Structure 1
């Protein structure tokens, strides 16, 4: 078996909504239980293998660029050849795909926090901080064809 057959998530993916965005997933050199996800706007992030064939938890982390990345989920559907990444929702061990069921966001969504300041009577000020919207990437695996010599 090849490495790609054992770890079907490895490869390059084309965004479903943005033709210019590509994501590449590679195995960690030291630990085959980790993958590196390159090409996200947040920077290079690490995924931790959770379930076969290709379900990964993305732990909350800080990228090399200093960007805070919230916890998320990565699932590769081998049959449909599609990758889905969700950042901003906790990983669900019992049902990892459930985090995708309640979202309508696209991969162009911003992950910035918005604060609303409300003044009340007196000297008190209330600040409401909205949770950042989840960020989603959906893409199709780019299949590398092999040339056949005739």
Structure 2
């Protein structure tokens, strides 16, 4: 069963550190994309004008703010199961025949030997990655700057 240790080593040496690293980098890139989207939305809101009566206001001056999101947790789960079996079968059958015919003695013997060795390896794996996003209020500095910028406009 020389194949079994090699299969076991291959299955046990799954690249878990690389999986965790890639998950962390993917979350960082996704967070940057979410933040960039919120900033672009803020720019669009600043450029979008709404007329109220004779006055024109942009959405930010009316109190609209873009949504900001953050990853609150991420989970990577990997399950791996494997089964290895080895079986050896040996069988021997012996037959003897003897006979006397017209004073002549005859004897015959037959031997049948078979040998079988079987290996079986089965593996099963499953993995999942889950991430939770939460909505956050706009950063305080962002909100304060908007309020300060448009206080005179609304008065």
**Shorter-normalised TM-score: what interval?**
under 0.3
TM-score by length of 1: 0.24
Q: Which of the pair has the greater relative contact order for Cα pairs under 8 Å at 6+ separation?
A: 2
Question: Whose strand fraction is larger, Structure 1's or Structure 2's?
Answer: 2
Larger Rg: 2
